[in-house]
Amino acid sequence: MATRKGSAQTRFGESTVEFQDKQPLPELPPGECLLEDLDLEVVPDTHTLYVGHLNPQFSVPVLACLLRDTLERLELPVSREHIQVVRRPRNAYALVRVAAHKATLASLHWRLQMALEEQLIFKELTARGKELVLSEGWGPVSRREEILGQEQLFQGAFLGSETRNLEFKRGSGEYLNLAFKHHVRRYVCAFLNSEGGSLLVGVEDSGLVQGIRCSHHDEDRARLLVDSLLQGFKPQVFPDAYTLTFIPVITTSSTSVPLKVLRLTVHTPKAQSEPQLYETDQGEVFLRREGSIQGPLSVSAIQEWCRQKWTAELGKLEEKVKLLTEEKERLQQQLQQYQPVSCTCCVL
C-alpha cells in the first residue's frame, strides 16, 4: 500500500508549526486489504497520553500551546480542549486525548528520540535537568508519585470526622463567590497559628463527599483569590507554606460542569527562634483549638496567647538545659575514670 507523504513547513525560532497537507496515513495491517478496496478508512482509537517533566515556569495556556505544537511534530495532531495541563510550583504534567492507531503509538518512543536528536522539540517545554516523558496512560508506577492530581474521590464516600487539623465545608450554591474568601482568611490564619491543617470544600460536616461544580475557570479564580489574600498576611506567608488542590469527584449522574473537592492545605509551620502570631490582611487573628475556630482575638487574648507560647518555649529551653547538664556530668565522670595513674621512677 502506498502512503501519502505531506509536506511540513517549520519556522525555526517560533512556537508554531504549520502543516500544509494531511498527516501521513498509517499502513494497514495484513488482512485488511478489503477495506482499502472499498475505499474505507479505519477509524483510529482514542488514547490518553501522559506527558511528564513539563516546565513549571510557564503558565497552563503556554504549556498547552507548546505541547500541542510538539505533538504535531510527532504526527499526533490534537485540539486544545483535549489537553489537560496540571501545573504545580515545582513540577507540571499533562494528560492528552489523541485519536491514533496502535502502530502510531508503538513508534512514538522512537519518533520522540529522533525529534530530540534533531532538536525538533522545544527545549523550553521540558523542565530544567529533566527529560520529556511521553507514554500511553498514566505512566508506570515508578512515576506516579509526581502526578499530584491523579487522586479521585467517589461521591458519597466517607472521609471520617472533623479534627483539629481537618475542616469540612459543603460549599453549595455561590460558595466560591461569597463565603470562600472569608473561610480562607479564618482557617489559613488559624492553621498557621497552630500545627497546620486542611480545609476541604465539597464535603458535608458528616464527612460524606458531595463535590462542588468547579470548571477550569473556577479553579483559576480560586487560585488567584487564595494567593492575593495570603499575600496580605503578616508575617509574610510564602508559597511553599500552603497547597491548593482540586480533586475530581466520580459520580453516577451526568453533569455539565465537573464535580471536585477543593483542598487547601496549610503545612506545619517551621520552628522559629521566637513565637510568631499570624494575622490576616484585615488585621484579624484566629486560632484553631479542638476542632473550632477562635477569633478574631481581642488584645487581651493575644497577650494571653503570647504568654502561653513564651511559657511553653521557656519550659522547652529549661528541659534542654537540664539534659545538657546531665550529659556534661556524665562525661566528666567518664573522664575521671579513664585518667592515667601517675608513676614516679627512681634511678639509682
The residue length of the chain stands at 348
Specify whether 126 is located in the same domain as 176: no
Cβ atoms 194, 286 nearer than 8 A = no
Q: What is the number of structural domains in the chain?
A: 2
- Helices and strands: H and E segment counts in the chain: 8, 14
Q: Are residues 109 and 171 in the same domain?
A: no
Residue 175 lies in a domain: yes
Average pLDDT over residues 58-64: 85
Residue 160 in any domain: the answer is no
Q: Which domain holds residue 86?
A: 12-23+39-139
Residue 34 has pLDDT above 70, yes or no: no
Neighbours of 246 (CB within 10 A): 21
Residue 197: strand, helix, or coil: strand
Q: Once rounded to an integer, what is the mean pLDDT over residues 62-69?
A: 86
Share of the chain above pLDDT 90, in %: 23
CA distance 133 to 117: 15
Count other C-beta atoms under 10 Å from residue 264's C-beta.
23
In a domain, 115, yes or no: yes
**Residue scoring higher pLDDT (316 or 13):** 316
Nearest to 21 by CA among 79, 96, 72: 72
Whether residue 170 sits in one domain with residue 134: no
Query: How confident is the model at residue 159, as a pLDDT?
Result: 86
